[in-house]
Amino acid sequence: MDEGHPQIHNQGPVQGQNIGDNQQITQYFGIPLELKTYRKQFCVPLLTSIHELAPVMAEFREAHDDLWARQKLFFQAGSYQKRINPIFKTAHERAAVAGSELSIDPDGQKVMDAFVAYLKAQDDYVQAVIKPMSKFPTWYFNKADISTLDELAEKTNEKLSALEEAIRLFVNLP
């Protein structure tokens, strides 16, 4: 073997070729890197948006559980809305791009289904959290059943795990 060039193996998990003095990896576990990279370009931002929304959901839950936190949220609603609107806007844009790209790829249907299931579970949870806080005049002290909220939160977490797994499998499809 020429000492100036690294040896490239065309077997095992990483396959590649020499291009001049540079090594270019073209496959990883038999998956062309261009396809894997392409799929990651819209799946990773989708998960990023979900994780960026987690603190917002935690604040809603805190406002539900802690009456003082609820009063603070209601008295600072304008600044709170200015802070969260860009987060939701970005999440919607990322979801639109991901949805468009996933609808093009026939293998993306499982990710789309998992994403829709997650959104449904998240909506059920958020509605259960905010419903008692939206009834006047009892919005100051109404609360939902904590065990119900915990069950809905657990269901949402399970759907998120299923979505993450669907994305992992989709990105790694050959």
Domain boundaries, the chain: 34-171
**Cβ contact 64:70 at 8 Å:** yes
Residue from 47, 166, 40 nearest 112 by CA = 166
Strand partners, 19: 22
Share of the chain above pLDDT 70, in %: 79
Q: What is the pLDDT of residues 131-172, one digit of tens each?
A: 887 777 766 677 888 899 999 999 999 999 999 999 999 998
Q: Enter the tokens of residue 39.
A: 């799929």
Place of tokens 């959104």: 119
Number of helices (H), then strands (E), in the chain: 5, 3
Q: What pTM was estimated for this model as a whole?
A: 0.71
